[in-house]
């Protein structure tokens, strides 16, 4: 469904992403992990057209290389951000409808927007200003707005960051529902290995913009290269 | 602000303005103030849309106003285009000029947009006064002294005929206000707000920053150019003094009094500022000092402007009154 081929991004002398290749299959939950500064969020920014890059990205059989972010959104690739991005001027319902009005094919679908609002569990906050939501609410709102675009792929950037155990469980349930009930392919960047091993079918580990390993989570977490460069010995011992 | 409340304020304002000539039709001084209130209300509203709603710190509003004024004056004086058509053409020219100015601003943010647009403002003075300006008919340092009045349906609209000109301005003001309200409350307005709040998030949801930013530049400069052109045919003479910091400051005070992004607060801001500016005129050099002090005080103590806190106060009193009724 999403094929990344030879993806390379340089910021001056720094090679943030270096000849990265991977493929996400339809219906998968695909994980991406790696140390801080490994280039994970940059990969998202490249796929969603925020930066120019070398290489080729194919989505749903179409070449989407070099398309601007708003056109990528309309193609069916939605994303969230590591630090929640919201529209403080709009309320929850209006924010969800922005996704539907501008991102979905066919324009504003109020019924679908209301369904999304219920799906992410923000129906009681529908008229609340987005800026007044707590962190979990803001994350759910980002996911809701992304779902309102009727995406084929949802890319989540560290959705669990800053969440407590209860919120993590809540968000994991939401991600499973998105994948299983809505049939949306999910890519997730995350540091919590427990979340990745429980949710994902394939896990890609990158370091300094290069792929170290890509396989099933149980194989990846046992790989000596991954333990050495990312997980550490204590993780292997605990395991 | 809700559409209902917005419409109530605007309808109330324009109805009040509409009956003013019945009382002051014979007083040229007041009629002139009323006409300038109408013109500045729209120009300041356009600035509020681009800055307050779209979050683009464009400081080119006065430049667009002057481009509209000069374009219409040059078209009618040098090319003998009838003033009505000259005004419309000038609005189109200013709209295109606005899009042209908007293009380099697409890649810039915040203070850099302010710098680029203000640079456009600053370059207009030497351009209009210099040989290039004279070549296109700007009149150089002297300006244009014989801008013809608007003639329509056998009537003449100029500073010599204040009541007809007032109603022509009121008509255009209402049309442009309706357009601005429709834009603010339509999905365009939502796109502007979304781009202002978070351009990355907005783009990830399918909003084209390129399209909507150029739209807002085009629309606001078109309307501003229209009123600049109308002003040129009202006063009959133009000079580059229009580009002085005085005009820029007055426009800024209107927005600050009304509250940035608190439309239609800026309309009330225009009423207060134009009136105050006229009454402070005898104070000479102290007038800009007082106006500047007003900006400082408002920015420090009333960031939402004067209008919104008053509306909030009225709303909270009404709610308190209702609560009292339920409890009694």
The pLDDT tens digits for B85-135 are 999 999 999 999 999 999 988 888 778 999 999 999 999 999 999 999 999
Local confidence band at B155 (pLDDT 50, 70, 90 cut-offs)? confident
Q: Domains (ranges, CATH) in chain A?
A: 2-76+151-238 (3.40.50.300), 83-150 (no CATH)
Per the CB < 8 A criterion, the answer to whether B162 and B28 are in contact is: yes
A232 vs B301 pLDDT, higher one: B301
Q: Over the stretch A68-114, which tens digit does the pLDDT of each residue have?
A: 999 999 999 999 999 999 999 999 999 999 999 999 988 888 999 99
**A50 contacts B200? CB cut-off 8 A:** yes
Calculate mean pLDDT across residues B12-35: 93
Local confidence band at B323 (pLDDT 50, 70, 90 cut-offs)? low
Chain B residue numbers touching A88 (CB-CB < 8 A): 197
Chain B residue numbers touching A90 (CB-CB < 8 A): 190, 193-194, 197
Residues 6+ away with beta carbon under 8 Å from A80: A139, A142, A143, A146, A154, A155, A156, A157, A159
Mean pLDDT of all residues belonging to chain B? 90
Local confidence band at B309 (pLDDT 50, 70, 90 cut-offs)? confident
The backbone torsions φ and ψ at residue A138, rounded to the nearest 5 degrees and listed phi first, read -65, -40
**A50 contacts B197? CB cut-off 8 A:** no
From A92's Cα to the closest Cα of chain B, the distance in A is 13
Q: Which residue from B190, B198, B206 is facing A70, i.e. has the nearest CB?
A: B206
A129 DSSP 8-state letter: B
d(C-alpha B67, C-alpha B97), whole Å: 8
d(C-alpha B244, C-alpha B233), whole Å: 20
From A132's Cα to the closest Cα of chain B, the distance in A is 14
**A89 contacts B201? CB cut-off 8 A:** no
Residues 6+ away with beta carbon under 8 Å from B178: none
3-class DSSP assignment, residue B160 = coil
Closest CA to B117 of B57, B68, B67: B57
Per the CB < 8 A criterion, the answer to whether B63 and B230 are in contact is: no
d(C-alpha A202, C-alpha A25), whole Å: 10
d(C-alpha A21, C-alpha A152), whole Å: 20
B310 vs B286 pLDDT, higher one: B286
Under an 8 Å CB criterion, which residues of B touch A? 187, 190-191, 193-194, 196-198, 200-210
Local confidence band at A170 (pLDDT 50, 70, 90 cut-offs)? very high
CB atoms within 10 A of CB B278: 15
The pLDDT value recorded for residue B326 is 47
Per DSSP bridges, beta strands A77-79 and A29-33 are: unpaired
Instruction: Identify the bridge partners of residue A3 per DSSP, sorted by sequence position.
Output: A23, A58
From B199's Cα to the closest Cα of chain A, the distance in A is 9
d(C-alpha A62, C-alpha A55), whole Å: 14
The pLDDT value recorded for residue A179 is 95
pLDDT over threshold 50, residue B327: no
Chain B residue numbers touching A73 (CB-CB < 8 A): 203-206
pLDDT over threshold 50, residue B328: no
d(C-alpha A114, C-alpha A120), whole Å: 10
The backbone torsions φ and ψ at residue B58, rounded to the nearest 5 degrees and listed phi first, read -80, 125
The pLDDT value recorded for residue B86 is 97
Q: Which residue of A has its CA nearest to B197?
A: A87
d(C-alpha B81, C-alpha A188), whole Å: 63
Q: What percent of chain B has pLDDT over 90?
A: 62
Local confidence band at A237 (pLDDT 50, 70, 90 cut-offs)? low
Q: Which strand ranges, in their side-by-side order, compose the sheet holding A54-59?
A: A14-24, A2-11, A54-59, A62-63
From A148's Cα to the closest Cα of chain B, the distance in A is 9
The backbone torsions φ and ψ at residue B86, rounded to the nearest 5 degrees and listed phi first, read -60, -40
For chain A, state the CA radius of gyration: 18
d(C-alpha B189, C-alpha B187), whole Å: 5
Chain B residue numbers touching A146 (CB-CB < 8 A): 204-205
Calculate mean pLDDT across residues A143-158: 95
Closest CA to B181 of B11, B39, B63: B11
Q: Over the stretch A194-209, which tens digit does the pLDDT of each residue have?
A: 899 999 999 999 988 8
Calculate mean pLDDT across residues A159-166: 90
**Winning range, highest mean pLDDT, from A35-39, B70-74, B296-300:** B70-74
Between the CA atoms of A155, A9, A20 and A99, what dihedral angle is there, to the nearest 10 degrees? Answer: 10
Q: Which two tokens stand for residue A223?
A: 């790989």
Q: How far is CA A80 from CA B46, B70, B102, in A?
A: 33, 48, 29
Q: Which residue from B193, B198, B204 is facing A79, i.e. has the nearest CB?
A: B204
Closest CA to B126 of B116, B114, B138: B138
B282 DSSP 8-state letter: G
Mutation pick from A82, A91, A96, A101 vs chain B, by most beta carbons of B within 10 Å, is A101
Local confidence band at A37 (pLDDT 50, 70, 90 cut-offs)? confident
**A78 contacts B197? CB cut-off 8 A:** no
In this prediction the pTM is: 0.87
pLDDT over threshold 90, residue B11: yes
B328 DSSP 8-state letter: -
Per the CB < 8 A criterion, the answer to whether B258 and B250 are in contact is: no
d(C-alpha A78, C-alpha A192), whole Å: 22
Question: Please, what is the Cα angle at A138 between A132 and A142, to 5 degrees?
Answer: 135
Say yes or no: ipTM exceeds 0.85: yes
């Amino acid at each position: 469904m999403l094929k990344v081929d030879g993806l390379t991004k340089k910021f001056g002398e720094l090679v943030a992403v270096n000849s990265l290749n991977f493929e996400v299959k339809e219906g998968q939950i695909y994980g991406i992990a790696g140390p801080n500064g490994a280039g994970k969020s940059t990969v998202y920014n490249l796929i969603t057209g925020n930066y120019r890059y070398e290489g080729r990205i194919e989505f749903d059989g179409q070449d989407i290389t070099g398309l601007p972010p708003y056109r990528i959104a309309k193609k069916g690739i939605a994303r969230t951000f590591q630090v929640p991005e919201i529209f403080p001027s709009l309320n929850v319902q209006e924010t969800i409808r922005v996704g539907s009005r501008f991102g979905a094919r066919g324009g504003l679908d109020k019924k679908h927007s209301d369904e999304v609002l219920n799906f992410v569990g923000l129906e009681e906050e529908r008229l609340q200003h987005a800026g007044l939501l707590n962190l979990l609410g803001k994350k759910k709102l980002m996911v809701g707005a992304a779902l309102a675009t009727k995406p084929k792929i949802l890319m989540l950037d560290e959705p669990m960051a800053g969440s407590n155990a209860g919120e993590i469980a809540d968000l994991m349930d939401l991600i499973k529902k998105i994948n299983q009930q809505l049939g949306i392919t999910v890519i997730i960047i995350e540091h919590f290995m427990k979340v990745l091993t429980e949710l994902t079918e394939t896990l890609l580990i990158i370091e300094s913009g290069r792929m170290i390993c890509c396989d099933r989570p149980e194989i990846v977490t046992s790989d000596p290269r991954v333990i050495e460069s990312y997980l550490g010995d204590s993780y292997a011992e605990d395991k | 602000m809700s559409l209902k409340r917005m419409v109530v304020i605007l309808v109330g304002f324009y109805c009040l303005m509409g009956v003013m000539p019945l009382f002051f039709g014979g007083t040229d001084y007041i009629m002139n103030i009323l006409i300038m209130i109408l013109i500045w209300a729209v120009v300041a509203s356009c600035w509020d849309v681009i800055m307050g709603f779209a979050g683009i710190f464009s400081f080119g509003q006065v430049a667009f106003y002057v481009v509209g004024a000069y374009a219409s004056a040059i078209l009618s004086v040098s090319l003998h285009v009838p003033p009505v058509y000259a005004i419309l053409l000038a609005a189109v020219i200013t709209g295109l000029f606005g899009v042209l100015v908007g293009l380099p601003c697409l890649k810039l943010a915040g203070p850099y947009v302010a710098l680029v647009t203000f640079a456009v403002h600053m370059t207009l003075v030497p351009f209009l006064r210099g040989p290039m300006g004279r070549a296109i008919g700007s009149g150089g340092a002297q300006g244009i002294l014989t801008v013809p009045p608007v003639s329509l349906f056998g009537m003449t609209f100029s500073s010599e005929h204040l009541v007809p000109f007032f109603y022509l301005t009121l008509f255009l003001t209402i049309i442009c206000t309706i357009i601005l309200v429709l834009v603010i409350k339509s999905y365009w307005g939502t796109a502007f707000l979304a781009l202002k709040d978070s351009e990355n998030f907005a783009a990830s949801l399918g909003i084209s920053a390129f399209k909507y930013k150029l739209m807002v530049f085009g629309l606001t400069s078109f309307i501003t150019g229209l009123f600049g052109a109308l002003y040129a045919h009202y006063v009959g003479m133009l000079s580059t003094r229009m580009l002085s910091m005085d005009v820029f400051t007055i426009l800024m005070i209107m927005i600050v009094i009304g509250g940035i992004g608190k439309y239609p607060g800026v309309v009330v801001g225009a009423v207060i500022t134009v009136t105050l500016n006229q009454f402070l005129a005898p104070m000479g050099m102290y007038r800009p000092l007082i106006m500047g002090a007003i900006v400082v005080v408002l920015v420090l103590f009333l960031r939402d402007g004067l209008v919104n806190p008053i509306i909030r106060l009225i709303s909270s009193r009404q709610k308190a009154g209702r609560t009292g009724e339920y409890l009694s």
